[in-house]
Structure 1
Amino acid sequence: MSVLTNEASRTDILNRLKRAEGQLRGVQRMIDEGEPCLKVAQQLSAVRKALDSTFVRMTVCYIEQELDSRIEGGPAEKVRLESMMEEMETLLARMT
């Protein structure tokens, strides 16, 4: 199984996870403080969306990394790959 080697992608994904972790702590605090269920549910929905988008981002980074290592070509091919991956990320994000 491969690991993400692109440092910028790793940093982005870790930052997204830290934000989701903060949101989740906020939900826990809301429950402790007796906030209404509707407000808690809204925040839980936001946490789920954050995790879903992080999953999509990680998946796209992984695919891009694997394709990049296997594609032989010049800079034009790399640009086409980046464009395709941006479109794929947009499409996958709409599924969540």
Structure 2
Amino acid sequence: MVGDEDSIALVLNRLRRAQGQLAGVISMIEQGRDCKDVVTQLAAVSRALDRAGFKIVATGLKECMSGNAEEGKEPMTEAELEKLFLALA
């Protein structure tokens, strides 16, 4: 992933938080916790992953549009960008 260090650190923080929340959900299921509590925490994990994905897309959009000439990458097409956004929907 390309981007500034602050954006990368933010994404990694969100992903680590989601990883911890997911571990909590697994533990809750193993303990036989109430369905409502499990679903609430699972929804929080989903939102955390979505936010991380949106941040990755937002951070990398410039590179995706322009490509990276130094690495010989071609710019993404409009169809490829649309597919990338829809993958998070």
Unaligned runs of 5+ in 2: 69-84
Unaligned runs of 5+ in 1: 71-91
Q: Which has the higher helix share?
A: 1
Instruction: Say if 1:8 and 1:67 are closer, same or farther in 2 by CA, change over 3 A.
Output: farther
Equivalent residue number for residue 86 of structure 1: none
Whole-Å separation in 1 of the counterparts to 2:43 and 2:29: 15
- Deviation track 1:47-90 (CA, whole Å, cap 9, x = no partner) reads 001101111011000014556889xxxxxxxxxxxxxxxxxxxx
Percent identical among aligned pairs is 35
Establish whether residue 10 from structure 1 lines up as the match of residue 2 from structure 2: no
TM-score by length of 1: 0.63
User: How large is the Cα RMSD of the aligned pairs?
Assistant: 2.4
- Deviation track 1:17-75 (CA, whole Å, cap 9, x = no partner) reads 000000001101101111011110111011001101111011000014556889xxxxx
Match of 2:23 among 21, 25, 36: 25
Structure of higher RCO (CA pairs closer than 8 Å, 6+ residues apart):
1
Instruction: Say if 1:68 and 1:9 are closer, same or farther in 2 by CA, change over 3 A.
Output: farther
Give 1:5 deviation, angstroms: 3.6
Give 1:9 deviation, angstroms: 1.2
Equivalent residue number for residue 57 of structure 2: 59
